[in-house]
Structure 1
Amino acid sequence: MDQPDLPDQQEGMPSTADLRMDQQQRYFRYMDERNEYRNRKVSASHGQYIKVMFLFAVLQIIGIAFFTKGFLLSRQVLPNQSTCLDQQNSQTCHQFSPFKKTVILLIDALRFDFVIPVEDQAADPYYHNNFPILYEQFANHPQNSLLLKFIADPPTTTLQRLKGLTTGSLPTFVDAGSNFDGDTIDEDNWVSQLHSFGKNVAFVGDDTWTALFSPFLHPNMTFPFPSLNVWDLHSVDNGVIEHLYPMIKDQGTEWDVLIGHFLGVDHCGHRYGPRHYAMKQKLDQMNSIIGDVIDSIDEDTLLVVFGDHGMDFTGNHGGESKDELEAALFMYSKRDYFGRLSNDHYNISNLGNDFRAVNQIDLVPTFSMMMGLPVPFNNLGSPIEEAFIGPNSKNQLELAKSNFLTCQQIHNYRQASDQLSSDEEINAMFNELSSDWDILQKKSPDQLTLIAFNAKCYEYQALSLDKCKSLWATFDNVCIIIGIGIVAISLGLLIIYTKLVPLVVITQLNSQFITSSAAMTMVHTLLTVSFTLIFKPENLSMLWSVLLGVSLGIINGILAPIIDRYSIPWLFSQVKENLIQNGWTYFALALILMHSLIFTSNSFVIWEDKIVAFWLITFGFCAVFKSFKLKDSRKRLLGVYHSVVFVLLTRLTSTIRLCREEQGSKCVSNFETTWWSVGLIYVFAFLLPKMIEKFFDISQSYQGAAQLWVSKGLRGLMLLIALMWTLEYIENSDYFNSKIQVPLETFKVTRLTIARIVMGISLIASNFGWSLGPLCIKIDLGSNQSGRQVLRTANIIGYGNVYGSAYFLFVINILCAVLLVNKPLGIVSLALLINQILTLLELIDILKIRTNLVSVVTMGLLAYLHFFSTGHQATLQAIHWDTGFIITETIVFPLTHISIILDTLGPFIIVCLCISLMCLWKIPPTSKAISLISKIVENSSTLIIYQLCLTLSTLIMTNHFRRHLMVWKIFAPRFMLNGIILIAMNVILTLVTVGFATGRVIKRWNQVFGN
């Protein structure tokens, strides 16, 4: 009997295949949930790190702000207005004006040696002996003209000089920051006095005048032109010429004072320096214009021509070198009016060093009294003798009247000032002068008596000026101490956070830091605001009390969770265990200490560029010896090779120099735009991508997107930049313009178009493409025979550097933007910087110092080395303002500002971006993403610690040397540079390096490989 077929399974029971399928589904669901949980955890931890870094950034910025408030105070400006009667109803103005009209022509940056004859052996054909008319008139018509050396007070920036030239007051260093944001002047000046006396003031030229004096200029006779486009040599000057001549020649024009401000000479200096054929053309043009004006004015018109400052050998200004301070002053009248002192005062030998000089503020009382105006209330200048002693040079009585009126005005100013009124020595001198003047008015004094009286007046005025100069920066010690204290505490907290507390604990404490800081900030802000409302301290306004409360809240908010878990002695006990790793750490600490100590001497600050290069070379030699100790022969050879290359690149970079004035003949600048420097851009357009390719090949990462980014993208953009600078060189070359008629407008449009394309691609298009997650790997599919089965295999080429290779593409994007705004030799320097960074990354991997302090310090030193080799120094005049107009013809926010920032801080920006590569370079994907982020935050914070040490040192030393002769020339600019660098580092590291780029790379690869 046939048996029925038995079923394989009971009815209703799942099959084995179904069970296996269900098990797989549950497993994949579990894995998805686990991955999602891990990704959320990584994102949360990453976000907390960003917030804590932001808290530290806020704390440091507040500290710098307090110090700046205390150190860079503006002088006291009194709102008083001078009148022609003082408090005793005594006459304080000249009763008549010798001239009915005045033409004032300001030739910006008219250096004194531009206008005097210079012997052939000392002359430069571009800027000497091309503007002879002023000296010719002075020499041939002594009673009609006056030529003097015109000494500016630093800072030698246009807006500050205009304030001094119209108010007679001293500028302050902090005013230099307002050179691009002038407000209507709020102190007494001769422009407002002209308006008060019903005089019509016509103006044409630099729009800085309208920013300062708009209410006092005649609206129908005011023609301002944009002033800050230093690449434009002609628009402002052509505009002045267009309106100047018609107003002078039209006798019916109802102006009393006509002001024209030419900018071509200044812009030519900024763009090319004084040694350029364009400077000769500009000076020839100015010479012709002055000649035409002299021919056009009548006997009742006074002509005044002067420069507001000079320029240094690079064509820039802002500091206090001799060439920046010495401008020219020329006065002319067709009527016999001017006198002369002894001819010894007008000696032009030795490039005019013996020529008679007056302070620029001396023009204020001189011009005011020549126009019959009261001397502006805040004036500290003295009357120019030659303008009052008459054409026979013997009218000492008229000079005495002018001198006493000026002394009386200075006395009124001093008595109205709380800081100056109690000076018994100055007050006694004025009382004696008043008595002498009363005696002189009662009798007819002889010449000797008048000469003696005038000498005493000048002595009083000079002593008053010297004493005011000693008080021109009044320091707020409370704010200075608060600022230094906050920065110092921030440094201590950051060291504890980064180096002493274990990373595992920090990850747990981050959320507590954020919530605790928020709560503490509210409490401390309420306390400081209440304190301010109750006690009303003079140096703590409501805004500053809030900032103080915020800083105290952040300090307590970060410190409290740490102290709650660890004791202070325990934290100190961790210094040697966690901070000191090996001999490299001691070397790094020594570098930080030495770099901080160089700010104790002005000589060290001056030669910081050479010192930094020496330290980097020292690191390279140490790396050579460390490499010899490696057991692996291959690594030993590679370590020595990379160390030697690092030393050679450092030495090559240090040959690119833009010297500061204090370095004198011991430094020769070579930072110029020449045919060979432009040619080097083409060379490096091929070399740099090839160098990067070879470093990628070490880890087999030159795959996929790397080829597009490096070979095509970087090389293509560098070639466009090279083409842009080629057009710029041809456009401004003396040779090409003399041999070929260059189509200037076409060149300019092409150059701007190229610059905009490069900037658009590097900052927008390429970063958009990078955000989509380009890969630098290649999947190599293959098969293996295993018995009867053929196994499919997939080999991921570039797997060992998936993080670093992808991240470096982002660095290339920003690098291209920085290259665009740098000058040719700056581009060469940045190309060498990239090679040095990649070489250093290989050394870090070979020597196993990824998280060692020395790696971060070396990165920081590289930033400083290339800051100097890209043509910068810690001086105002070394700022490349002209780079703001590489992509725009006029000032356009924020494009102009971004260009200047990228040019000035480019090396620091690149180094900040590359800090992540110390942990990401040449490592495979890891499942410990949070730990990797923590290490990157540690290195980023360590770089900030290094910069904080330098900043804290400059704050302390700048305050210590606040009465040093070089404080405003050396120490103050250096402190401001360190403050700006620290702020920029915090912004870049927090928001870009850790916040955007690192997070995006790690999270993306964590999703693909890290689970």
Structure 2
Amino acid sequence: MLSDQEREILLQEQQQRYLRQSNERSLSRIRRLRVSHAYYVSVLLLLGILQVIGLAFFTKGFLLSRQVLPNIATCLDEQGQLDSCLHASPFDKTVILLIDALRFDFVIPVEESKANTNYHNNFPILYNYFINEPENSLLLKFIADPPTTTLQRLKGLTTGSLPTIIDAGSNFDGDTIDEDNLIAQFHSSKKNVAFVGDDTWTALFSPFLYSNLTHPYDSLNVWDLHTVDNGVIEHMMPILKESKEWDVLVGHMLGVDHCGHRYGPEHHAMKQKLNQMDTVVQDLINSIDDDTLLIVFGDHGMDSTGNHGGESQDEVESTLFMYSKKKHFGRVDNSSYDIGNLGKNYRSVNQIDLVPTLASLMGIPIPFNNLGSPVKEVFIGPESSDDMNYAKVNYLTSQQIDNYRKTSAELSQDEEVNKLFQDIKTQWEALKFDHSKEDIIKFNENASNYQKVSLEKCKAKWAQFDNVCIAIGIFLIFIALLLLIIYSKMIPSVVIAQLNPQFISSTIAIVLVYTLLSASFSIIFKPESIPLLWSIWFGVAIGIINGMLAPVMDRYSVPWLVSQLAENLIQNGWTYFALVLIVLHALIFTSNSFIIWEDKIVAFWIGTFGVLAFFKSFKQEENYKKLIGGYHSVVLIFLTRIASSIRFCREEQGDKCFTNFKITWWSILLLYVSAIILPISIKYFYRISHSYEGAAPFWISKGLRSMMLLTAVMWTLEYVENDEYLNSQLNVSAVLFKSVRITLARVVMSISLIASNIIWSMGPICVRLEIETKPNAPRKANFIGYGNVYGSTYFLFVINILSAILLVNKPLGGLSLFILINQILTLLELVDLLDIRNNLISVVIMGLLGYLHFFTSGHQATLAAIHWETGFLLTETIVFPFTHIAIALNTFGPFIIVGLCVALLSLWKIPPTAKPISLISKIVENSTSLLIYQLCLTLSTLIMANHFRRHLMVWKIFAPRFMLNAMILIVLNVVLTLITVGFASGTVIKRWYKMFGGAN
């Protein structure tokens, strides 16, 4: 018989043993949760690597490339005689002024009825000299070969070669150009090249520039309109007037280009820059002597938004002007210089034609890789009758092109072109002994034809694609899609978490084996299409595929997996609708017209979902659910319509679209309005689930509102700084404006991305403990906000990232994101009401919202639509990674928000669960569903871009769309794998699991 004391001791020991066992079970569950979470992240990471490798292979095969020949041209002919240069150079010195983005209609007269006062008729000097001194000057339309980017244009302007997207053997990432070029030829000919301006020249030509007279300036801050131009003026005029050490003087001015990027051509700042250019050219003309040639030209134009990079008429049409104080220039045909409708009828030459023209004028060898033709007006004399001089230049140019073609293995076997050269060579030999004017004219026609045919043949030859790499890329993306479907839709939800503990190590081992096999194959057989490095990547991809398929095929048969797909994927009519949307979105890329109007199509689909949700809501049993569902459906439709009214049109949409995406006073005002309304709106959604407790009021009403107001103030300063009237009235230093603006931007960015996330990771909660006391009854504890503990806490993290993205978006872009957040919260309520949180339709609509607001935040699937200027919100110059982060957040902000919020489909309005692994698996399933949707679109763009690779619009529409989809896929993989699943959702679930101990 135990005494009372012994029973008490025994009872305490039992309680302690129970507590220890309970703690051990809890720790064991937490360890299993961490391990399972790590497995999910590992699987997503491996699948992401596979997708990136597939995209890399397709890109390598699709983006055109050519091999650059390293040969250097000389004045020696085949017999070693000095007969391959035009030695009687008419000029001793040359002054070159490159005005970046000098569009042709900026320099010609335009009728007042058709003119824009800010960019027309403000740079008249070139045209005036051309009309008043026709024998001393020449004005031509200067046609650039796309892509119309400065680096590619400088290459064409100095080498005479054609650009492709990737030039094998010639790296333009800041390395010295290793292709024969004019600057190198000047240097070899003992001519000193002085330079002032854009530092791209020093990156490309540094060994060939005369260091004593070289003054580079940082070129990439597109918000700085004056530093480079003022530097050119400061140094160029003294060099021209006082120094005798130079033979060629180059100035590269950037103000016009930067003004276009920052404000567009219609801004008043453009008028000021063009007036300044007019003055600079006049000063240069006044300063040169009779033996100096002045050349003024642009490297490309700009579109209506001030951007460039594509192949629209406004982007490729630039300006070439030449001037000499002695009479030198002739005319081909006066009717060819008819200005016409904004210069559309004006005579034009290719930009690569400058290379043989300038080389011949200066008596240096024509660069070896040149494909351009000499400009006829420069060589026929002021009487337009010196056809023999033009013939000699024509022959030297043709001879250089023939040397180039014979040296190139891919060009030398073209018998048609070779015969054309042999014919003109025979004619040239005959002209040396006996010639008439008719013979010379005939020779010039044949030589020009040879040069033209050669150029066209080269364009066709270099438009070649690597079909092997393209096929590998498409295959790997297809397999990645298949693996995503298997892991998210076919395997039971918790199997990934229960994979063999050796899964990761065995996969890595398989990857290493296949990598070694692939590398060995490359070393032994040396396939041309896939060199060693790419063979290694292919081995990694095959290893990942085998490593991930092995545990699946070991456990399940194919028929069983297919049955699981049918069972798990097809749930109800909503799923069929989601599949229809995915298929239709993928089919958009089969037509350039559909791609052009994708923004409107996406808005229509979201509106269609809203209409279906409206009618579906009225099938609810409870009346209040019918009303709430109908209300949220109407709100979603209304917000979609409002968002779609923000338009940034692409060129192909023509007059059927009017761009209103501009920084205006009313868009700034809307920023302040949204800063007031958005926190109130979020507060409303929180109160639906009684979650506006704890940290929520501070985070939403104070934190978010403060960040949005500071962002609004920053954009106000930007607007005032660049408004002509307000700037003049306030009379505040531009330096002060810039300093305050950058300081505000840095404060908002540092708080949003660093400080707030550190605090969030420490565990802010959106619940309140309420103790209920009643007489003669035990006290009762109630957690207010318990029913949405995951979603309310997770959304605070979304707010942090949202604040940073709002900062780098222009005012109307900020309004678009304001609408996006309200649409997402509305969608979450509909998803809960209609019980479709695990249905494919919820993920598809979330993805469509990302696309809708990509377009309505001022973007299009074109290179020219990238907001490069936002990279200078945080810094005055390019500073890694701040500049790059700003541009990435601006471009992909809507997709980042959608990628974060896809977890809320599983977390919103649910209480703590005793099965956290199952909850993580649902988040992973929705995340992979979003990746499946994006992979379907990406696979379609790859196939269609390859199918239409000879289409007229391939580089204007299909290729940019494929590149955008590829970038979105990479961004979503990073966000979903590392942030949504890897950090944010895992942090929230683990935190609440520890707090509530798995209680239901």
TM-score class normalised by the smaller sequence: over 0.9
Per-residue deviation, 1:790: 3.6
Q: Does structure 1 residue 912 correspond to structure 2 residue 904?
A: no
Per-residue deviation, 1:348: 1.1
Residues 273-313 of structure 1: CA distance to partner in whole angstroms, max 9, x if unpaired? 00111111000111001001100000010000000000001
Structure 2 residue identity aligned to 1:441: K
How far apart, in 2, do the equivalents of 1:313 and 1:801 lie? 48
Kept in 1, the 8 Å contact 2:39–2:496? The answer is no
Q: Does structure 1 residue 314 correspond to structure 2 residue 305?
A: yes
Mapping of residues 540-551 of structure 1, within 5 Å: 540-551=530-541
Alignment partner for residue 94 of structure 1, among 71, 86, 94? 86
Kept in 2, the 8 Å contact 1:160–1:179? The answer is no
Per-residue deviation, 1:175: 6.2
Kept in 1, the 8 Å contact 2:68–2:168? The answer is no
Per-residue deviation, 1:782: 1.9
User: What's 1:974 paired with?
Assistant: 961
Alignment partner for residue 841 of structure 1, among 799, 806, 828? 828
Residues 699-726 of structure 1: CA distance to partner in whole angstroms, max 9, x if unpaired? 0001111111100000001000000011
Per-residue deviation, 1:570: 2.1
Kept in 2, the 8 Å contact 1:49–1:510? The answer is no
Number of residues of Structure 1 aligned to a counterpart in Structure 2: 997
User: What's 1:825 paired with?
Assistant: 812
User: What's 1:259 paired with?
Assistant: 250
Per-residue deviation, 1:516: 3.2
How far apart, in 1, do the equivalents of 2:291 and 2:694 lie? 79
How far apart, in 1, do the equivalents of 2:667 and 2:312 lie? 28
Alignment partner for residue 548 of structure 2, among 558, 568, 584? 558
Alignment partner for residue 513 of structure 2, among 494, 517, 523? 523
How far apart, in 2, do the equivalents of 1:596 and 1:282 lie? 45
Alignment partner for residue 663 of structure 1, among 646, 653, 659? 653
Residues 483-537 of structure 1: CA distance to partner in whole angstroms, max 9, x if unpaired? 1101101101110111011113332226454233212112211211111121111
What TM-score, normalized to structure 1? 0.97
| Change over 3 Å in CA distance of 1:690–1:175 after alignment to 2 | farther
Residues 981-1001 of structure 1: CA distance to partner in whole angstroms, max 9, x if unpaired? 111111110000100001100
Per-residue deviation, 1:9: 6.5
Q: Does structure 1 residue 728 correspond to structure 2 residue 715?
A: no
| Change over 3 Å in CA distance of 1:900–1:179 after alignment to 2 | farther
- Secondary structure of residue in 2 paired with 1:645: helix
- Secondary structure of residue in 1 paired with 2:645: coil
User: What's 1:751 paired with?
Assistant: 741
User: What's 1:229 paired with?
Assistant: 221
Kept in 2, the 8 Å contact 1:170–1:472? The answer is no
How far apart, in 1, do the equivalents of 2:500 and 2:165 lie? 41
User: What's 1:5 paired with?
Assistant: none
Q: Does structure 1 residue 1002 correspond to structure 2 residue 989?
A: yes
User: What's 2:376 paired with?
Assistant: 385
How far apart, in 1, do the equivalents of 2:807 and 2:728 lie? 28
Mapping of residues 646-657 of structure 1, within 5 Å: 646-657=636-647
User: What's 1:337 paired with?
Assistant: 328
- Secondary structure of residue in 2 paired with 1:75: strand
Structure 2 residue identity aligned to 1:955: L
How far apart, in 1, do the equivalents of 2:668 and 2:494 lie? 52
How far apart, in 1, do the equivalents of 2:951 and 2:503 lie? 42
Per-residue deviation, 1:24: 2.7
Per-residue deviation, 1:448: 2.2
- Secondary structure of residue in 2 paired with 1:701: coil
How far apart, in 1, do the equivalents of 2:309 and 2:597 lie? 20
Kept in 2, the 8 Å contact 1:114–1:129? The answer is yes
Residues 383-417 of structure 1: CA distance to partner in whole angstroms, max 9, x if unpaired? 00000000000000011111111111111111111
- Secondary structure of residue in 2 paired with 1:105: strand
- Secondary structure of residue in 2 paired with 1:882: helix
Structure 2 residue identity aligned to 1:546: I
How far apart, in 1, do the equivalents of 2:867 and 2:733 lie? 26
| Change over 3 Å in CA distance of 1:695–1:68 after alignment to 2 | same
How far apart, in 1, do the equivalents of 2:605 and 2:554 lie? 41
Q: Does structure 1 residue 64 correspond to structure 2 residue 55?
A: yes
What TM-score, normalized to structure 2? 0.98
Q: Does structure 1 residue 324 correspond to structure 2 residue 311?
A: no
Alignment partner for residue 144 of structure 2, among 128, 131, 152? 152
How far apart, in 2, do the equivalents of 1:538 and 1:212 lie? 29
Per-residue deviation, 1:118: 0.5
User: What's 2:237 paired with?
Assistant: 245
Give me the CA root mean square deviation: 1.5
Per-residue deviation, 1:447: 2.1
User: What's 1:645 paired with?
Assistant: 635
Kept in 1, the 8 Å contact 2:170–2:179? The answer is no
Per-residue deviation, 1:96: 2.0
Kept in 2, the 8 Å contact 1:336–1:391? The answer is yes
Per-residue deviation, 1:179: 10
Per-residue deviation, 1:15: 4.2
How far apart, in 2, do the equivalents of 1:768 and 1:611 lie? 40
- Secondary structure of residue in 1 paired with 2:641: helix
Mapping of residues 936-951 of structure 1, within 5 Å: 936-951=923-938
User: What's 1:357 paired with?
Assistant: 348
Q: Does structure 1 residue 491 correspond to structure 2 residue 491?
A: no
How far apart, in 1, do the equivalents of 2:992 and 2:10 lie? 33
How far apart, in 1, do the equivalents of 2:507 and 2:6 lie? 60
How far apart, in 2, do the equivalents of 1:75 and 1:673 lie? 42
Mapping of residues 879-918 of structure 1, within 5 Å: 879-918=866-905
Mapping of residues 20-31 of structure 1, within 5 Å: 20-31=11-22
Per-residue deviation, 1:471: 2.4
How far apart, in 1, do the equivalents of 2:840 and 2:189 lie? 68
Kept in 2, the 8 Å contact 1:706–1:776? The answer is yes
How far apart, in 2, do the equivalents of 1:73 and 1:357 lie? 26
How far apart, in 1, do the equivalents of 2:172 and 2:843 lie? 36
Kept in 2, the 8 Å contact 1:617–1:647? The answer is yes
- Secondary structure of residue in 1 paired with 2:341: helix
Per-residue deviation, 1:737: 2.8
User: What's 1:46 paired with?
Assistant: 37
| Change over 3 Å in CA distance of 1:505–1:9 after alignment to 2 | closer
Q: Does structure 1 residue 282 correspond to structure 2 residue 273?
A: yes
User: What's 1:600 paired with?
Assistant: 590
Instruction: Compare 509-518 and 523-532 and name the one that shifted more.
Output: 509-518
Per-residue deviation, 1:773: 0.5
Kept in 1, the 8 Å contact 2:648–2:859? The answer is yes
Instruction: Compare 532-541 and 946-955 and name the one that shifted more.
Output: 532-541
Q: Does structure 1 residue 986 correspond to structure 2 residue 973?
A: yes
- Secondary structure of residue in 1 paired with 2:495: helix
| Change over 3 Å in CA distance of 1:760–1:650 after alignment to 2 | same
Kept in 1, the 8 Å contact 2:68–2:169? The answer is no
Structure 2 residue identity aligned to 1:454: N
Per-residue deviation, 1:868: 0.5
Structure 1 residue identity aligned to 2:164: T
| Change over 3 Å in CA distance of 1:510–1:327 after alignment to 2 | farther
Alignment partner for residue 433 of structure 1, among 407, 424, 427? 424
Per-residue deviation, 1:177: 15
Structure 2 residue identity aligned to 1:671: F
How far apart, in 2, do the equivalents of 1:184 and 1:875 lie? 29
Q: Does structure 1 residue 184 correspond to structure 2 residue 176?
A: yes
- Secondary structure of residue in 1 paired with 2:246: coil
| Change over 3 Å in CA distance of 1:708–1:906 after alignment to 2 | same
- Secondary structure of residue in 1 paired with 2:66: coil
How far apart, in 2, do the equivalents of 1:124 and 1:162 lie? 29
Kept in 1, the 8 Å contact 2:629–2:830? The answer is yes
Alignment partner for residue 919 of structure 2, among 908, 911, 932? 932
Alignment partner for residue 782 of structure 1, among 772, 786, 801? 772
User: What's 1:3 paired with?
Assistant: none
Q: Does structure 1 residue 193 correspond to structure 2 residue 206?
A: no
Structure 2 residue identity aligned to 1:943: L
Structure 2 residue identity aligned to 1:212: L
- Secondary structure of residue in 2 paired with 1:352: coil
Structure 2 residue ranges without an equivalent (≥5): none
How far apart, in 2, do the equivalents of 1:153 and 1:602 lie? 22
Structure 1 residue ranges without an equivalent (≥5): 1-7
Residues 340-397 of structure 1: CA distance to partner in whole angstroms, max 9, x if unpaired? 1221111112111011100000001000100001111111110000000000000000
